[in-house]
Amino acid sequence: MNKKKVIIADDHDIFILGLRVGIEKDSSFIVVLEAKTSEEVLTFLSEKECDLLICDYMLPTIDGVSVLKKAKKLNPNIKTMLISSVEKFELQKLCEKEKIDAYLFKSEARNKIIEVVNLIFQNQKFRPLQANENSPFQILTPKELETLHFWASGKSMEDTGSQMKISGKTVETHRANIKKKFPNLTKEEIFELIKEHGIV
């Protein structure tokens, strides 16, 4: 079986190691390069083929979106994933504009990396749950947003915990925090707000 070749570009060794371990748990994939700079990535791609490039947004010298764009020019068939500790809606819009296959928060990478990688190779996109610019849901953390998404979809605390890989008690805490942040609204009114403003 030909393994799919993956490049990870990030300037933090421990983070790279964690991603590599997560990806290579699936025997379909092999990490062929751990790069700390954009130059390393682009030099490699000018000489060799690769199936997936995972790139940190905050790379030295060139930002990750620009690296992914340049990689696409060198290898039009390469799959692309942006990872970032910067959880801004603007980055999601940029990923849409540049046709980047996946955008993943670093805070979610450990739990979701192989799931997202497999989605990419099924020709699906992945975007984190985020509130848009004018949404009242901007006050929620990413985990609270995800909890709210499942809650509004009618998922139980147990199902939500299973999906998010957290305990039912943690789900309960997230739900309580959501209620505290909207003290004047009932649960049903919060769900109506979702319809009005949307969670991407």
Measured CA to CA, the distance from residue 186 to residue 181 in angstroms comes to 11
Are residues 47 and 104 located together in one domain of the fold? Answer: yes
- Please tell me the chain's helix, strand, coil percentages from 3-state DSSP, rounded to the nearest 5: 50, 15, 30
Are residues 101 and 151 located together in one domain of the fold? Answer: no
Give the pLDDT of residue 131.
65
The reply to whether 126 falls in a domain is: no
The reply to whether 10 falls in a domain is: yes
- Domain enclosing residue 188, as ranges: 136-197
Strand 4-9 relative to strand 102-105, pairing: unpaired
The reply to whether 176 falls in a domain is: yes
Measured CA to CA, the distance from residue 132 to residue 9 in angstroms comes to 28
Are residues 104 and 175 located together in one domain of the fold? Answer: no
Give the pLDDT of residue 27.
93
For residues 11-24, average pLDDT: 92
The reply to whether 43 falls in a domain is: yes
200 touches 130 (CB < 8 A): yes
Report the percentage of the chain scoring pLDDT > 70: 95
What's the CATH code of the domain at 26?
Answer: 3.40.50.2300
Which of 71, 96, 120 delimits the end of a domain?
A: 120
Mean pLDDT of the chain: 89
What's the CATH code of the domain at 145?
Answer: 1.10.10.10
The reply to whether 35 falls in a domain is: yes
Are residues 23 and 113 located together in one domain of the fold? Answer: yes
Report the percentage of the chain scoring pLDDT > 90: 58
Are residues 106 and 28 located together in one domain of the fold? Answer: yes
Residue 130 has pLDDT above 90, yes or no: no
For residues 36-47, average pLDDT: 94
For residues 25-48, average pLDDT: 95
For residues 111-135, average pLDDT: 85
Long-range contact list for 92-100, CB < 8 A, 24+ apart? Answer: 92/127, 92/128, 92/130, 92/200, 94/65, 95/65, 95/127, 98/65, 98/68, 98/69, 99/72, 100/65, 100/68
Q: Which of the two residues, 32 and 152, has the higher pLDDT score? A: 32
The reply to whether 84 falls in a domain is: yes
Are residues 107 and 16 located together in one domain of the fold? Answer: yes
The total number of structural domains in the chain stands at: 2
What is the value of pTM for the model shown? 0.74
